[in-house]
Amino acid sequence: MKKFDAIVIGAGQAGLPMAGKLARAGKKTLLVEKRRLGGTCINDGCTPTKTLIASARMAHLARNSAALGIEIPGLKVDYETVRARAIAISDRFRASATENAEGTKGLRICYGAAVFLENKVIEVQHAAGRAERFTAPIIVINTGASPLIPDIPGIRGVNYLTSETVLDLQEIPRHLIIAGGGYIGLEYAQLFRRFGAGVTLIEQADRLLPHEDADACAVISEVFQKEGIAVMTGAKVTGFHPYGKSRVQLTLEGERSESRVTGSHVLLAFGRTPQTEGLGLENTGIRRDEEGHVLVDEFLETNVPGVFALGDVKGGPAFTHIAYNDHYLLSRRLLNGKKQSVKERLLSYCMFTDPQMGRVGVTENEAIQAGLDYACAKLPMRNVARAIETGETQGFMKAIVDRKSKKILGASIIGEAGGEIMSILQMAMMGGLTWEQVRYATFAHPLYAESLNNLFMSLKE
């Protein structure tokens, strides 16, 4: 058995930088990865989707350019180039991460799946069939999550796509059914529609984005409707059937009726499941929740001292920036003696539909449910000078503030660059600014940021 100072399982958005930091700090470190360095974000998640979304937006702008006085005759989507660009950018990010990791002194990278044999002992099965055992006093689990394939009748009998295989498609699907209306479903629905596919999006909840305020859902639903995406809400997928030579049919159950929808392809976007199956946690005392997430305390440590879990595998908000921040918290604790709780972290995220939805802190619904004494400031994008000038008037800016302290508690910005505008308010929240300070701040004209003055104008001082 080989001894290390630290073992990191999974080279995702937390494991990869974590392993590098440990090694550079002089700890003899082992990094185990069963698939590709960089994990979901670089290989099948953020990078390829945001790259495809950029092409899709270009197509959309070009198609609608006449409104700004620009005619583009003979517009064509060259999907081969679109796809090649997405793959090339993923490859570039992975190559750079790999070069960096492989060049790190004190870091051994082992390609294969890690399995726990006991609390601090793992075995790695190498591709060549050889197995090796390792032990370390510090073990970091960063095995992420993978697409959830629920046990729905017929699902194994059809050729479904997931976020891990959709890039294998070499042509734009004629009619893509997307099962599940979460972030993956929404982002893929819009981008494939903009490439020219027929798209039907199916969601069991009675509206899209049920965790967001209803006004956010209304904007996105209206945009999707305008762009010709068929959205079916209140529709639970209960069956999959092959249909004809190569098509696929889904059975949907609504509150009162059953229906069927047929398409050329189906993309499963039902959510994601933690990659703890096959990890051998049953050979350890490490506790998991019912869904299989590794349970950790607010300092990211499991119930077994010295064993930590970072990123999606531990449950909670599943975002790259959360996984990355997890590695900061743990590396500062292990290497600088600074113990910081995840509870101090302000949650922000951005859904990359067009318009984007940037979100930070509480929604209005959450403020109501928590019984907060709040006020709500809201400004439609059609009243924002920058939005009028660029022709991007869909959406709104909305902020929730505490009446007494005047501090900002949360924001939803739906618009072009909604994520960037949200981040300005996130900084204000982090700095403890009041809405009045933002109301009277001087922002350059005519930026979207400038309209943060106007957003707070509606509130009484």
Ligand X SMILES: Cc1cc2nc3c(=O)[nH]c(=O)nc-3n(C[C@H](O)[C@H](O)[C@H](O)COP(=O)(O)OP(=O)(O)OC[C@H]3O[C@@H](n4cnc5c(N)ncnc54)[C@H](O)[C@@H]3O)c2cc1C
Ligand Y SMILES: NC(=O)c1ccc[n+]([C@@H]2O[C@H](COP(=O)([O-])OP(=O)(O)OC[C@H]3O[C@@H](n4cnc5c(N)ncnc54)[C@H](O)[C@@H]3O)[C@@H](O)[C@H]2O)c1
The annotated binding site for NAD(+) is made up of 180-187, 203, 271
Enumerate residues 227-286 that contact ligand Y by CB under 6 A. Answer: 236-237, 269-272
At its nearest, how many Å lie between ligand X and the CB of residue 379?
25
Q: Which is nearer to ligand X, 40 or 251 (CB)?
A: 40
Q: What is the dihedral of CA 31, 36, 38, 43, to 10 degrees?
A: -170
Q: Which does 199 bind (CB under 5 to 8 A by kind): ligand X, ligand Y, none?
A: none
Q: Return all residues near 461 (Cβ < 8 A) that are at least 6 apart.
A: 436
Coil, strand or helix at 153: coil
Q: Which is nearer to ligand X, 313 or 362 (CB)?
A: 313
Q: Do 232 and 224 contact (CB within 8 A), yes or no?
A: no
Q: Which is nearer to ligand X, 211 or 382 (CB)?
A: 211
CA 344 to chain centre: 21
Q: Does 414 contact ligand Y by CB under 6 A?
A: no
Q: Which is nearer to ligand Y, 366 or 402 (CB)?
A: 366
CA 89 to chain centre: 18
- Kindly give the residue spans of alpha helices, DSSP state H, lying in 337-446: 364-369, 385-390, 418-430, 435-439
Helices (H) and strands (E) in the chain, counts: 12, 23
Q: Which is nearer to ligand X, 40 or 451 (CB)?
A: 40
- Kindly give the residue spans of alpha helices, DSSP state H, lying in 267-382: 320-336, 364-369
At its nearest, how many Å lie between ligand X and the CB of residue 324?
8
Q: Do 109 and 33 contact (CB within 8 A), yes or no?
A: yes
Q: Which of 175, 241, 327, 445 is catalytic?
A: 445
Q: How many CB atoms lie within 10 A of CB 18?
A: 30
DSSP H or E run through 351? strand 348-351
Q: Which is nearer to ligand X, 263 or 311 (CB)?
A: 311
Q: Does 319 contact ligand Y by CB under 6 A?
A: yes
Q: Do 1 and 133 contact (CB within 8 A), yes or no?
A: yes
Structure token pair of residue 6: 């630290």
Residue 445 a catalytic site member: yes
Q: Does 183 contact ligand Y by CB under 6 A?
A: yes
- Binding site residue list for FAD: 50, 312
At its nearest, how many Å lie between ligand X and the CB of residue 268?
11
Residues that bind ligand X (CB under 6 A): 9-15, 32-35, 39-41, 44-46, 49-50, 113-114, 142-144, 163, 184, 275, 279, 311-313, 318-321, 323, 352
Q: Give the E-state strand segments of 79-130 in sequence order.
A: 107-118, 121-126
Q: Which does 204 bind (CB under 5 to 8 A by kind): ligand Y, ligand X, none?
A: ligand Y
At its nearest, how many Å lie between ligand Y and the CB of residue 283?
29
Q: Does 182 contact ligand Y by CB under 6 A?
A: yes
Q: Do 51 and 141 contact (CB within 8 A), yes or no?
A: no
DSSP H or E run through 6? strand 6-9
Q: Does 184 contact ligand Y by CB under 6 A?
A: yes
At its nearest, how many Å lie between ligand Y and the CB of residue 40?
8
At its nearest, how many Å lie between ligand X and the CB of residue 112?
7
Q: How many CB atoms lie within 10 A of CB 48?
A: 22
Q: Does 39 contact ligand Y by CB under 6 A?
A: no
Q: Which does 223 bind (CB under 5 to 8 A by kind): ligand Y, ligand X, none?
A: none
Which residues are catalytically annotated? 445
Residues that bind ligand Y (CB under 6 A): 179-185, 187, 202-205, 236-237, 269-272, 318-319, 349-352
